[in-house]
Amino acid sequence: MYRCAECTLHGCKIHDLTKTMKDCPSKNEDIQRKAMELYKDEENHKIAYNAALVEAEGYGRLTRMEEILLFMDKAGYKKIGLIFCLGLFNEAKVVDKILTHNGFEVISAICKNGDVPKSYMGVKDEDTVSGCAKETMCNPIGQALLMNEQKTDFNILLGLCVGHDSLVLKYLERPTTILAVKDRVTGHNPLAPIYTADGYYKKKLFK
């Protein structure tokens, strides 16, 4: 069992495995050897290499949106899939405009594509926000299949619900990054309660 979140030594960062926990994953030579072999794959290498360049160039200077633009440019990605939630439609319009302005071809798919009622999944009236099972369900698998059909080079997720993001990532065939995730309470800043977990949110998170 690996417990990196409990480790305070971080010997892996300084190439000193004597300063690690007994069950440090860095000591799993078989897994690490397999990982290093996978980095030799052409696309894996391209992604990891350019991610390192973007980190160095943008560290503490570029926003995530700017880093995504820089990364896609360096990696040579041109046809970009924008997968977003209806709740962030205005934000999606801005992102679409930014991507287009910077020379990318944008293919976008909204969560409600397909016009499928939640009753299709067996959801009852009382288990919906509106109180009606005819409420349109999010269709992340559809979003993924649409991007695969359009043969995007790279995809960006914007504001998908918990679980829906899992499904879209499961079925997407091309590399994908996340610009923002949904948090209706914090203005889509899910780390806010983490930063206040010892204070205001303690009773909610540690019931």
- Taking alpha carbons only, the member of 64, 153, 53 closest to residue 103 is 153
pLDDT band at 97; cut points 50, 70, 90: very high
- DSSP strand pairing (79-84 vs 105-110): parallel
pLDDT tens-place string over residues 30-82: 999 999 999 999 999 999 999 999 999 999 999 999 999 999 999 999 999 99
Beta carbons of 2 and 23 less than 8 angstroms apart = yes
Beta carbons of 156 and 95 less than 8 angstroms apart = yes
CA angle 79, 85, 88 (to 5 degrees): 100
pLDDT tens-place string over residues 157-178: 999 999 999 999 999 999 999 9
| Number of Cβ within a 10 Å radius of residue 106 | 17
**pTM value?**
0.95
Beta carbons of 121 and 139 less than 8 angstroms apart = no
184 CB-side CA count, 13 A: 6
DSSP string covering 105-161 = EEEEEETTTT--BGGGGT--GGGSSSS-TTSBPP-HHHHHHHHHHHT-SEEEEESPP
**pLDDT for the residue numbered 69:** 99
Beta carbons of 175 and 155 less than 8 angstroms apart = yes
CATH number, span 78-207: 3.40.50
